Structure 1
Amino acid sequence: MTATATRVLVLNSGSSSVKYQLLDMRTASDSGSAAGTRLATGLVERIGEETSRLVHTPLAAGGARRETEGPIADHEAALKAVAAELAADGLGLDSPELAAIGHRVVHGGLEFSAPTVVDEAVLKEIERLVPVAPLHNPANITGIRTAQALRPDLPQVAVFDTAFHTTMPEYAARYAIDVATADAHRIRRYGFHGTSHAYVSRRTAQLLGKAPEDVNVIVLHLGNGASASAVRGGRCVDTSMGLTPLEGLVMGTRSGDIDPAVTFHLKRVAGMSADEIDELLNKKSGLLGLCGDNDMREIRRRIDEGDQRAALAFDIYIHRLKKYIGAYTAVLGKVDAVAFTAGVGENAAPVRAAAVAGLEELGMAVDASLNAVRSDEARLISPEYARVAVAVVPTDEELEIAQQTYALVNA
C-alpha cells in the first residue's frame, strides 16, 4: 500500500443487490479521530433482472445524484458499473489512493473474531458456513470474488457481522442441548448486526464523555431486522439473535423468540414442511404477520386512526423490547446507557418512549421534548435526573467496516 493510499471502498453484496460507499480515511489517520470522509455512495438493485437500477451519489464535490436503469446481468457487471460511475467522478478503482476493499460478511462463526484479509483459505471457511447463513454468505462470497477479479492486487478485507459477539461467555452463547450434537453441527448463539453494535456502543461512550471500557451499554438495533446487545466495557456479553437472525426481538417479518415446539406442532397438525415453516417464521411473521404491515410509520398511522390490530402488534413489539431491556439490565448489573439505533430506533419516537415507559425504577426515563426532536446527530433524550442515559445514536456500519479495514491494512 502506498503512503497516499487512504481510500477504502466498502461493499455490501446481497443476493440481488450491491450497496457501496467510498471513504477517505485520511482524516482518521491524521487526526486520530473516528472520522472518515465519504466520497461517494450508491446502490445497485434488482441484479439479474431487466429492470436493474443503479443509484450513485458523488459527495466529494457536491455532485448530483445519478440514476440509471437497464439490465445488469450479474455481480461482476454490477461492480463494473459501479467502477464506471466512480471513474466518472475521478474516483476510479484503478486509483493509487485506493488502499483496500472492505466487505460485509454476515456469518464468520467462531473462526473469525476480527477483520480478516481474504485469501482462498478464508473464502473456503466462509463457504463452509453457508448452511448457517444460506441467504447471506453466498452473496458475500460472490461480491468478494468479483472484487478480487477487478483488483487482484488490492487487499480484500472481510468484516464479519458475528465478530463483535464472539466475546460472549460460553454460558451466554451455548444452548441447553446435547453438547456433542451442538458441536457437531455448530449449534450455538452467534449474534448479528455486530458492526452496528460495535459502532453504536463505542459512539455512546463518546457521547457520555467516557472511554468504552468504562461504560456498560444496552444497544437496541431496531430496523426491519432487530437485535439487542449487552455490552460491558466495550465487549459484548449477550445478544438477542442466535444461530440465525431469527431469534430475539419481534421484527418486521420475523417472529423472534418462539417456543421451539411450535415448529413440531405446525408440521404434525398443519402438515407444513420445514421450508414452509422457515418461510412463515422469517418472512410472514413479526409485525407483518400480526397486522399486515411491517413499516412502523404505517403501523403508527393506523394506531392513530383507532386500528386495534395495529395497536396489538405495537404492544407485542414493545413488550418483547422491554423484556430484553430488563434482562440485559440484570446481565450487566450496572447500566450506564440504553442506545436506540437503526431505522426504527433512530426515527420512531413513540417506540423509544413506549420502550422506556415504566422503567423509572431501573433509572431509565425519556424527556418528551428531547425525544420529539428529529436529528441525524447522536444525542441524549433522557432528563438530567435519570440515572441511566437514554441515547439515540445513528448507526454507521459502512464507516465501521472502513475503519476496521483501514486499520488492518495500515497496521
Structure 2
Amino acid sequence: MSSNILVINCGSSSLKFSVVNSQSGEQPISGLAERLGDAEAIVTIKTSNGNKLTFDISGGEHDQALETILNYLQQENLLDSIQAVGHRVVHGGEHFTASTIINEDVLNAIESCNHLAPLHNPANLIGIRSSQKLLNKVPHVAVFDTAFHQTMPAQAYLYPVPYELYQKEGVRRYGFHGTSHRYVSMALAEKLEKPLSSLNLISAHLGNGCSATAIKAGQSVDTTMGLTPLEGLVMGTRSGDVDPSLHHFLCTQTQMTIDEVNTLLNKKSGLLGLSGLSNDMRTLEQAASEGNQQAEIAIQVFCYRLAKQIAALAVPLGHVDGLIFTGGIGENSVSIRQRVLEQLTVLGFQLDPSQNELAGKSQLGLITQAGSTPAYVVNTDEEWMIAKDTQTCVTAGE
C-alpha cells in the first residue's frame, strides 16, 4: 500500500500543502495557495527537482485551490497514490491528546474550540470540509498543535485566576508548536541512539512564531505559549509576555480599544515593534551589523528573554540532557545560538564556535564543547510528523 499522505495546513486566505512519503519524509510535490477569495488568488506548486509552477485562480476560494492542486496531482499520476489526508489543526482544547481520524464528532469538537483559536480553527475546518468533499474515498486525520502539551501537570497549565474560569471557560495554558517539539525530540533521540524515555530535553522552536518546551521522557511538562500563541517568548510580531495590565493602561492612556491592543500585541510588536524595521531576524542581524541600534536592541531582548525562559524550563526537568534549536531562526542563525548559549552558563552550556558555524553537521547537530551540557541543532519537519501520525491513525483503524 502507498504511504503517500497529502498534508494540508489551511489558513483563512491561504492553503499550504505537500505530498509526503510517511516512511521516508520525501516530498515530491508541495506548494501554497494564497490570497484566496481575492482577484490575485494563485496556487504555486513546487516539485522535488526545483521546478515551480503558478496557476491563476482569480477570485478562487479553498475549494478551487484544492481542485487545482488535485488536478495537478492527477496529471502527475500522484493522486491515486494518496492514502490519506493529514490536516494541521491549531487548537484541540482538552478534547484531544493525540491525532485522530476525522468524523462528525471530531469536527464538532474542533468547532467547539473555535473561541480558543478564532483566527485558526475556523480556517482549519474550511480546509477539512473542502478536502473531504473532493477526496471522499480516503480517510482524513486531524493533527493538533496543542495535543502534545496535554501531558502538562495542573501546576504548569493552570493560571492563578478564579478556578471557575478554567471550569466554565477553559481558561488555562494549552501550548502550541507541539508537532514540531515532538518531532525534534524524537529525531534527536534517534540520532543519539538513546530511548526518548531516558532523556530530559528543552526544545526551542524559533521562527516568526517562537516557543520553548520542557520534554521529560518524551512528554511535554511545560511550555512557554499559553491560552493563545501570544504568551511567552518574543516573536516576529508578537510581544510574548507583558504585564497583563498593559491592556488596561493602553486603553486608558491612549483610548485604544481592547481589539486594537490585541492587534498591537499580536501583529505590531515583537521584533517588528522593537526594531521599527522588520519581523525577519535575517534583516535585523544585517541591520545590526551595519550599526542600527534599534535592530541590535530587538535582538538583545529576543535572546535574553529566550535564555531566561530556557533556564526556567530546566526546573520541571531537574537536569537537562540537551537543548534543541529548531525552526527558521534556530536552524540558521549562528549568532542567535551563540548569544543565547553565552547567557546560559548557569546551566553548564559552553559553545563550540566552530561547530556552531556548521550547525553541528559533522557531529549529530552538537554545537557545544566536550564536557558541556549539550546543545544541538535539529531541523524540524512538521509535515513529516503530520504524515507519520496520519499513517499511524489509518493503520490502527484498518
- TM-score for both structures, normalised by structure 2: 0.96
Letter in 1 for 2:201: V
Cα–Cα, structure 1 residues 232 and 362, in superposed 2: closer, same or farther, change >3 Å? same
SS at match of 1:380: coil
Task: Give matches, 1:296-315, under 5 Å.
Answer: 296-315=281-300
SS at match of 2:27: strand
The aligned counterpart of 1:18 is: 15
**CA-to-partner distance for each residue in 1:9-45, whole Å, 9 max, x for gaps?**
10001111111111233xx3xxxxxx33322111111
The aligned counterpart of 1:40 is: 29
The aligned counterpart of 1:342 is: 327
CA distance in 2, matches of 1:72, 1:100: 28
Note if 1:252 corresponds to 2:236.
yes
The aligned counterpart of 1:325 is: 310
Shift of 1:58: 2.7
The aligned counterpart of 2:101 is: 117
Shift of 1:5: 3.6
Letter in 1 for 2:311: G
The aligned counterpart of 1:31 is: none
SS at match of 1:218: strand
SS at match of 2:254: coil
SS at match of 1:254: coil
Shift of 1:74: 0.5
SS at match of 2:115: helix
The aligned counterpart of 1:6 is: 3
CA distance in 2, matches of 1:297, 1:258: 25
**CA-to-partner distance for each residue in 1:198-254, whole Å, 9 max, x for gaps?**
001111222322111111110000000000000001000000000000000000000
Letter in 1 for 2:158: R
Aligned partners of 2:355 and 2:361 also within 8 Å: no
- TM-score for both structures, normalised by structure 1: 0.93
The aligned counterpart of 1:381 is: 367
The aligned counterpart of 1:171 is: 155
CA distance in 1, matches of 2:328, 2:320: 24
CA distance in 2, matches of 1:375, 1:132: 39
Aligned pair count reads 394
CA distance in 2, matches of 1:198, 1:261: 34
CA distance in 2, matches of 1:376, 1:41: 26
Aligned partners of 1:114 and 1:163 also within 8 Å: yes
Letter in 1 for 2:214: A
**CA-to-partner distance for each residue in 1:77-130, whole Å, 9 max, x for gaps?**
0100110121121112xx1x3221000000000101111111111111111111
Task: Give matches, 1:1-400, under 5 Å.
Answer: 4-25=1-22, 28=23, 35-59=24-48, 62=49, 64-92=51-79, 95=80, 97-292=81-276, 293-373=278-358, 379-386=365-372, 388-400=373-385
Cα–Cα, structure 1 residues 84 and 165, in superposed 2: closer, same or farther, change >3 Å? same
Letter in 2 for 1:383: Q
Shift of 1:72: 4.7
CA distance in 2, matches of 1:87, 1:192: 34
CA distance in 1, matches of 2:164, 2:2: 48
Cα–Cα, structure 1 residues 360 and 376, in superposed 2: closer, same or farther, change >3 Å? closer
Q: Root-mean-square deviation (CA), in Å?
A: 1.5
Structure 1 gap segments, 5+ residues each: 29-34
Deviates more, 1:177-186 or 1:368-377: 368-377
Deviates more, 1:103-112 or 1:198-207: 198-207
Deviates more, 1:63-72 or 1:150-159: 63-72
Shift of 1:376: 8.2
Structure 2 gap segments, 5+ residues each: none
CA distance in 1, matches of 2:350, 2:188: 17
Cα–Cα, structure 1 residues 39 and 171, in superposed 2: closer, same or farther, change >3 Å? same
Identical columns (%): 44
Cα–Cα, structure 1 residues 225 and 63, in superposed 2: closer, same or farther, change >3 Å? closer
Cα–Cα, structure 1 residues 375 and 216, in superposed 2: closer, same or farther, change >3 Å? closer
CA distance in 2, matches of 1:361, 1:115: 37
Letter in 2 for 1:194: G
Letter in 1 for 2:187: R
